[in-house]
Amino acid sequence: MNDDHPLGWPDDTRTLAIDIGGSGFKAAVLDPEGVMLTERVRVDTPYPCPPERLVSTLLELTEHIGERHRVSVGFPGLVRNGRVRNIPSLSRLEYGGDADPDLERQWRGFDLAAALTKAFGVPTKVANDADVQGCAVVLGEGFEFVMTLGTGVGTALFLDGHLLPHLEAGHAPFRKDQTFEEQLGNVTRKDIGNARWRRRVSKAIDAYDRFLFFDTVYLGGGNAKHLDPDQLPPHARIVDNTAGIVGGVRLWDLDT
């Protein structure tokens, strides 16, 4: 989608970065260094949210945000080549509810990158939100693992700064016949309280480390603010939730 800029983007390129979450959509325009040129705007995630409603909501949210030359979108599900393969949070009729078969059908295979490119009128990239957040925080040192703690659990993997193929590791079995997402998601956190939830996060980090053997784990997302750094292992880092926006610039840098 970068055909107009075969040798790279100009130094004054402005990127509209969008972070789609189960509870809210956030957006800001960034300069080439990832510095916000505008205030971050936000709107609650509408439910139900089929593809057409998501596109129209994003257009309305960013209508007056300013000039942009390209768009980056962090999406809370599995995306391959711009197409949605799996999207748990937006397949529900209401926040935290059960999956709706009709919404799942509408989302499965939907070419979100093409739809947003057409809607915005500029080149648009769509990637998993944990992948985008990781783009903003990894240091390019060894094997780095990203966990986003929000409505669900997102994950991303980087080796020496290179983004690896996305895996929905949050859907893997964890404990008591439940997945990491079921045990650590926002609905569960509210149900069991922050103290028990923090202990579960520590157990989850240990469980992932047993088979990933990562050098560093970065903990982000809206619920990372509930973590206690003193209860985390030495190779864990809590990152600011704005990383889901700032990573939108480096998502384009990966092409080069």
Question: Does residue 113 sit in the same domain as residue 164?
Answer: no
| 36-94 confidence digits (pLDDT tens) | 999 999 999 999 999 999 999 999 999 999 999 999 999 999 999 999 998 888 999 99
**What phi and psi, each to the nearest 5 degrees, are found at residue 22?**
-70, -20
Q: Is the pLDDT of residue 177 over 70?
A: yes
Query: Residues of the chain with pLDDT > 70: what percent?
Result: 96
pLDDT at 3: 45
Domain-located, residue 8: no
Q: Half-sphere exposure of 215 toward its Cβ, with a 13 Å CA cutoff?
A: 11
Q: Which of 251, 1, 234 is nearest to 117 (CA)?
A: 1
User: What percentage of the chain carries pLDDT values higher than 90?
Assistant: 87
User: How many domains, the chain?
Assistant: 2
**Which strand (E) or helix (H) includes residue 157?**
strand 153-159
pLDDT digits (tens, 9 = 90+) for 217-238: 999 999 999 999 999 999 999 9
- Residue 157's pLDDT band, with cuts at 50, 70 and 90, is very high
CA atoms within 13 A on the CB side of 11: 0
Give me the domain span that covers residue 58: 15-131+245-253
Same-domain pairing of 127 and 20: yes
CA separation for the pair 224, 136 (Å, rounded): 16
pLDDT at residue 4 is higher than 70:
no
Q: Do residue 124 and residue 249 come from a single domain? A: yes
- Are both 99 and 23 inside the same structural domain? yes
5 within some domain: no
Q: Are 22 and 45 in contact (CB under 8 A)?
A: yes
Identify the band that residue 116 occupies on the pLDDT scale cut at 50, 70 and 90: very high
Q: Is 2 a residue whose pLDDT tops 60? A: no
Residues 70 and 167 in one domain: no
Cis peptide before 48, with omega less than 30 degrees from 0?
yes
Over range 202-208, report the average pLDDT. 98
Assigned domain for 4 exists: no
CATH of the domain at 56: 3.30.420.40
